[in-house]
Amino acid sequence: MFYYAIKIFKKINLIQPFSTIIVALIAKISYLALTVGVIAIAATSFTDWMMKRGFDLPRNLQQYVGGGAEFLFIAGIIFIVELIFKSGIEIQSENELTV
């Protein structure tokens, strides 16, 4: 996610910040955060299932696997930012046509 954030900072134009390239990068960050959140929740559920079945796993394994809900929350926020940038592209293109 930080790699895509660095790419955004390299490609952003401060005169016209709303572009399709930036929206695509923001969408990639959102999908990546969603994927990581779903995988983390699945891994947490799987480790719980394995522990119920009698597998000997370290008790502190959950602190390394957990955190799925936070990634889902971040994915939602970044998706909203993506929608704002999409509407910004529409407004920016309308302003270019009226001038």
Contacts of 26 (CB under 8 A, 6+ apart): 8, 78, 81, 82, 85
Q: How far apart are CA 11 and CA 17, in angstroms?
A: 9
pLDDT reported for residue 93: 86
Q: Is 81's pLDDT higher than 70? A: yes
Residue-wise pLDDT tens digits, 2-33: 999 999 999 988 888 888 999 999 999 999 99
Nearest 5°: CA angle at 83, between 9 and 38?
85
Give me the residue spans of the domains in the chain: 2-98
